[in-house]
Amino acid sequence: MTGKRLLREEKESLAGLRSLVEVYEEVAAARMQKVRGAVLISRMYLEEMLAVFGRVREAYKKKGFSGLAKNGRQVAVFLSANSGLFGDIVDRTFDKFAQFIKESDCDAVVVGKLGVRMMADRGVNKLYNYYDFPDDNVDPESFLLIMRYLLQFEKIVVFYGKFGSILTQNPVMTAVSGENLEVAVTGEKIEYIFEPTIEEIAKIFEGQIMTSLFEQTLHESQLAKFASRLLNLDKSWENIGKRLTVVDREEVRLRRKTRNRKQLSTISGMSLWWRGGV
């Protein structure tokens, strides 16, 4: 009876856990769809802005566009998470980030509570600035706070998970400081008139490009994390289903064993009765 009760309790527990996983899957799928839309919108906006900036820079190459005051240093930014259940994408991204700051002379920034825990647990001996940030949206105040700090650096390198497909999310490193942007300029050359000055316009363009690129990495990171969570939850759902199958088989085996024992007991009783009658 103990074995039967334990199997029944495990089955009930697994059924409840599977229902919980299904709910989490629905939430993760909804959030992934929401973030995916934001990623596509941000991409389109960035491509259009880069096209304009490319034409302006081509027209005034000799004058230069470095309008923002920089400190001459580079900073590495790790986009982690505030919660778990995101599979291994955050861990793999952290490995890439940790290796970079170990080998490079740079400042470091960690975004998300999970990143702080990783820095401590894995013994990374590096001072860093921490910023809290939600997992499922881009909070305007938090975003401006981070950008205010990052815009002072000559080079900004961001480490984050990038969405490839539901089955594939990869850790990537992207420079969002604009120094490597090369936009092909074709067609008729256009002369621009700048007001108030080209330096002021360059400053605005530089700031907008870096801000937009960084915002894009945030959206990409969120999309990859929720896709990874969805994949992880789906695997958990499959494993729970497999375990339920094992428990069902064990229940059948136990019922057969109990039935056989009763049959043997009945046969033994009949045998004793027959012998006594003789």
Domain annotation covers residue 5: no
Q: Which two tokens stand for residue 225?
A: 């994390």
Closest Cα to residue 206, out of 179, 175, 184?
A: 179
Query: What pLDDT does 76 receive?
Result: 95
Cα(67)–Cα(206) distance, rounded to whole angstroms?
A: 7
SS3 131: strand
Closest Cα to residue 122, out of 104, 103, 97?
A: 97
Domain annotation covers residue 137: yes
Per-residue pLDDT of the chain (278 residues; tens, 9 = 90+): 556 777 677 777 767 777 776 777 777 777 777 777 777 777 777 767 666 665 665 655 555 555 556 777 899 999 999 887 788 899 999 999 999 999 989 999 999 999 999 999 988 889 999 999 887 778 888 888 999 999 888 888 999 998 877 778 899 998 877 555 444 445 555 666 767 776 777 677 777 777 888 888 888 888 888 888 877 777 776 777 777 777 777 777 877 777 767 666 666 655 555 555 54
Domain annotation covers residue 111: yes
SS3 79: strand
Domain annotation covers residue 4: no
CA 112 to chain centre: 11
Domain annotation covers residue 117: yes
Domain interval for residue 214: 28-233
Domain annotation covers residue 262: no
Q: What is the 3-state secondary structure (H, E, C) of 195-206?
A: CCCHHHHHHHHH
Query: What pLDDT does 164 receive?
Result: 78
Domain annotation covers residue 11: no
Domain count, the chain: 1
Query: What pLDDT does 113 receive?
Result: 92
Cα(39)–Cα(60) distance, rounded to whole angstroms?
A: 31
Q: Which amino acid is at 117?
A: R
Helix (H) or strand (E) holding 156: strand 155-165
Query: What pLDDT does 112 receive?
Result: 92
Closest Cα to residue 112, out of 86, 151, 148?
A: 86
User: Which CATH number belongs to the domain containing residue 61 in this structure?
Assistant: 3.40.1380.10
Query: What pLDDT does 183 receive?
Result: 45
Domain annotation covers residue 14: no
Query: What pLDDT does 134 receive?
Result: 84
